[in-house]
Amino acid sequence: MREVAIIGAGMAKWGELWEKSLRDIFVESALLAIDDAGVDKIDSMYIGCMSSGLFVGQEHLASLLTDYLGLGPVPATRVESACASGGAAVRAGFIEVASGISDIVLVGGIEKMLDVSGDGATFALATAADQEYEVFNGVTFPGLYAMMAVAHMEKYGTTRKQLAHVAVKNHHNGSMNPLSQFPQKITIEDVISSVMVADPLRILDCSPITDGAAALILCPVELAKKICKKPVIKIIGSGHSTDTIALHSREILCELGSTQRAAEKAYKMANKKPEDIQLAEVHDCFTIAEICVIEALGFVEKGKGGKATEDGLTALGGKIPVNTSGGLKSKGHPVGATGVAQVVEIAKQLRGEAGKRQVQNARVGLTQNMGGSGGSSLVHIMEVL
């Protein structure tokens, strides 16, 4: 298996992109990644997208986006794993390069979510839950994660204020990211007094609906050393796991087994331990999600995620900065693009290109991207050479 490097990363501003079509948004970020890599050819392409058919009525993205990027007849594949579609696309591209099938692979993620009503977006996102046992009975994702929050509070004593600390931290980080959808800073009181969505989660505990894309260029490490003018970022670990799609089928509601197992695989491949990770981008679709994820990744003990966040362990300047980009909460969450954008942020950090939110002397970073309420999870570990 060949070693795999990231040589290009591209992402434009996320938000309510009314004036741009899905294809425009994708091509913009893909061209940024190609320019960043300095390459003049692409051997193949993987596109993470959850539900373009429901959001904009467009399927067959592999052909469409290859065409509009001017890369036809390059082989391209769309990858879907709910909100983990971007992370799954990164893994697919990683495997393609590692196997020797292709030398230069473009990995992109895309979702245009705001062309439908709020009800339409809720319907589309709910397809990532169990339709017969959850959605039919009226549950949406805020409700599912609210159940996880209540279970975590009852089992470990996690507080409402600790949930709010996640949002405040991530908006602070996002205020320094010019690409964020919601870059404004917020306070604990802002979160706690915001509109209730599903008790105990309020609107400022929830990630937004977003239009956006992100892209990467992958190639073998040996080739990267010859052609890359920037620090070479090596993908040293990749882990993927699934769990029951229905939350009620899990033994413990507030634990993310798919994330824990994916992390174990990635740590083993990378020959790293949780304490070796210097920063991470994780799937904070709701504030409770980040708390559960940092526990599943082994950054803190089970049940200590809320207290660790409150104490500043995951803040910039803390022991393990989490979501320096602003995370899904502030940067935005165009579901098919999120997993790719997480890798873009880690690549920028490891290159020393993150500006005011730069983690000093960062050498090893991790991303965690999950679908649904944790029915699928991808973990990648990267190191600067």
User: Which CATH number do you get for residue 113?
Assistant: 3.40.47.10
Residue 273 located in a structural domain: yes
Q: Which of 83, 219, 254, 292 is catalytic?
A: 83
- Asked if 226 and 312 sit in the same domain, the reply is no
- Asked if 346 and 221 sit in the same domain, the reply is no
Q: Where are the alpha helices (DSSP H) in 210-298?
A: 221-227, 257-270, 287-296
Task: Report pLDDT for 162.
Answer: 98
Task: Report pLDDT for 239.
Answer: 98
Task: Report, in angstroms and rounded to the nearest whole number, the Rg of the chain calculated over CA atoms.
Answer: 19
- Asked if 228 and 252 sit in the same domain, the reply is no
Residue 282 located in a structural domain: yes
- Asked if 217 and 257 sit in the same domain, the reply is no
- Asked if 164 and 276 sit in the same domain, the reply is yes
- Asked if 86 and 201 sit in the same domain, the reply is no
Task: Report pLDDT for 110.
Answer: 98
Residue 217 located in a structural domain: yes
- Asked if 55 and 179 sit in the same domain, the reply is no
83 belongs to the catalytic site = yes
Q: Does an H or E element contain 108, and which?
A: strand 105-112
Residue 379 located in a structural domain: yes
Global pTM reads: 0.98
- Asked if 89 and 158 sit in the same domain, the reply is no
Task: Report pLDDT for 219.
Answer: 98
Residue 17 located in a structural domain: yes
Sign of the C-alpha dihedral, residues 31, 234, 226, 97? negative
Residue 126 located in a structural domain: no
Residue 369 located in a structural domain: yes
List the chain pLDDT tens, one digit each, 385 residues. 999 999 999 999 999 999 999 999 999 999 999 999 999 999 999 999 999 999 999 999 999 999 999 999 999 999 999 999 999 999 999 999 999 999 999 999 999 999 999 999 999 999 999 999 999 999 999 999 999 999 999 999 999 999 999 999 999 999 999 999 999 999 999 999 999 999 999 999 999 999 999 999 999 999 999 999 899 999 999 999 999 999 999 999 999 999 999 999 999 999 999 999 999 999 999 999 999 999 999 999 999 999 999 999 999 999 999 999 999 999 999 999 999 999 999 999 999 999 999 999 999 999 999 999 999 999 999 999 9
- Asked if 262 and 300 sit in the same domain, the reply is yes
333 belongs to the catalytic site = yes
Q: Which of 171, 240, 333, 380 is catalytic?
A: 333
Between helices 257-270 and 287-296, what is the axis angle to 10°?
50
Domain of residue 365, residue span:
137-208+235-384
CA of residue 288 relative to chain centroid, distance: 15
Domain count, the chain: 2
Task: Report pLDDT for 314.
Answer: 98
In this structure, which amino acid lies at residue 46? Y
In this structure, how many other beta carbons lie within 10 angstroms of the beta carbon of residue 16? 13
349 φ/ψ sector (left φ>0, alpha ψ -120 to 50, else beta): alpha
